[in-house]
A and B are shown apart, each in its own frame.
Chain A
């Protein structure tokens, strides 16, 4: 019996386990997942909670609903991986041995890494929306807020869901309009990037969109510290921005056990071959989802596209064949733009997001880099697809590799 251990039962870990369950001979393979949290979070939904568009119950389900026999789920944190002995030591004192290891422990926020951020004003005038708890706290805050200056800040890239801060800003703009407070709110986006987004065409189009919404972008703002009493953020080049309400995307890092096990880079992401997702240092460790250093978007869609072709490649590999360099970094994201609209971007390692139609060239129904109501409904419908199709490892009728059909060069 061969042993496959999957660390992390979030989006990537759950999808890959259920894919394996469908295609592997489970008389030959024992598959064990490890995760400290019994709850599965629909993380894209956290964005909607501050504005009351989703509630807590919309974004949580028990992990047990998605992981069933013959898969085993152990509820524990990971202490350490010993890649030489092929052992995983767990916080609950159990030790697991493996033939193959999949690391899918994602990335998490670390507000304590920025001086002044996670101190006495955390949850009062300083907020985030990257966890269920921070979203719920921010919901309370916005409910009672009279207005003032809202500053949204990204501490350092890469972050999980790189479009989320933009969506948050545009949904906030809509929210304040709806509640008749927009004229009392000033919105500033302080980002370490040179513009609204990473890639030139999307950055320009999104930048124009923000300008039309009267949102000021403060580019190349590398935050050094928060001054929680003076209510201002200060950059390394000594620019200061005062705020009444700070919503931050704190430093993102991979899991601590990756550092303890000597498997990670400076941000605890595991260096991998970006086309096969195999760990560079070990032939029997793979990294799926946000936990690797692959230069793709840290997003559920990316994990899903990567896993689509991973299972087949892995099964060939364990039979002694070469790994195929299959993964093109494909990502696509809905971007909520407020007022019941959204846009969408579709891109990969080499091709930046362009305007056009998706998934059917010329038809859509989704529009790329252009606002439409259909995109917004697409995003809302996606939650159903996530719980009922994606997590269960069923095929989604979308191509895994990015296609240039339907995209316009601009």
Chain B
């Protein structure tokens, strides 16, 4: 675990660059991490997904899976891949300041 300064705020991140304390997250941090992930601008569609993930994690404490995101937001998997290219579940979890989605054993 290392301390990292994102958008002027020092936060803890793990070896994969995921924030370890969701309470340290701010919207400014999300914008910065999104840039690192190759998303230059967060649109309203992006925020809808990010906010859903923040909410879902709030009740269960962990980042939602891809299927939980599509079921919960009504956004199709195809569109999710367009918004957060390559691995949407992982990417949005990182931007939303949540842990890495648990791989299923």
Contact = CB atoms under 8 A, between A and B. Distances in A.
A331 B105 contact: yes
B81 A236 contact: yes
A198 B104 contact: yes
Interface in B90-105: 102-105
A40 to B, nearest CB: 25
B68 A295 contact: no
A124 interface: no
A194 B91 CA distance: 13
Interface residues of A, number: 23
B10 interface: no
A266 B71 contact: yes
Interface range on chain B: under 10, 10 to 19, 20 to 34, or 35 or more? Answer: 10 to 19
B84 to A, nearest CB: 10
Nearest to B72: A266
Contact of B78 (A199, A236, A265, A296): A236
Interface string B66-78: 1110010000011
Contacts of A297: 105
Contact of A347 (B66, B71, B87, B105): B105
A65 interface: no
A198 B81 CA distance: 22
B105 A295 contact: yes
Interface stretch (A11-19, A156-164, A361-369): A156-164
A162 B77 contact: no
Interface string A118-143: 00000000000000000000000000
A297 B102 CA distance: 13
A395 interface: no
B77 A224 contact: yes
Nearest to B60: A271
Given A156-B67, A266-B67, A266-B68, A220 B87 contact: yes
A249 B81 CA distance: 22
Contacts of A295: 102, 104-105
Contacts of B87: 220, 222
B77 A236 contact: yes
Chief secondary structure at chain A's binding surface: loop
A158 B86 contact: no
A295 B86 CA distance: 25
A157 B103 contact: yes
Contacts of B105: 158, 162, 198-199, 295-297, 329, 331, 347
Given A237-B85, A266-B68, A267-B67, A224 B104 contact: no
A39 interface: no
A193 interface: yes
Contacts of A331: 105
Q: Which of B71, B102, B104 lies at the interface centre, i.e. has the most chain A CB atoms within 10 A of its CB?
A: B104
A158 B102 CA distance: 11
Given A266-B67, A266-B68, A266-B71, A157 B104 contact: yes
A57 B78 CA distance: 43
A236 B81 CA distance: 7
Nearest to A297: B105
Contacts of B67: 156, 266-267
A371 to B, nearest CB: 21
Interface string B48-85: 00000000000000000011100100000110110001
A291 B58 CA distance: 25
A237 B86 contact: yes
Nearest to B80: A236
A195 to B, nearest CB: 9
Interface string A248-285: 00000000000000000111000000000000000000
A270 B85 CA distance: 31
Given A266-B71, A267-B67, A198 B103 contact: yes
B13 to A, nearest CB: 17
15 contacts: A156-B67, A157-B103, A157-B104, A158-B104, A193-B103, A194-B103, A236-B77, A236-B81, A237-B81, A237-B85, A265-B68, A266-B67, A267-B67, A329-B105, A331-B105
Interface of B: 66-68, 71, 77-78, 80-81, 85-87, 102-105
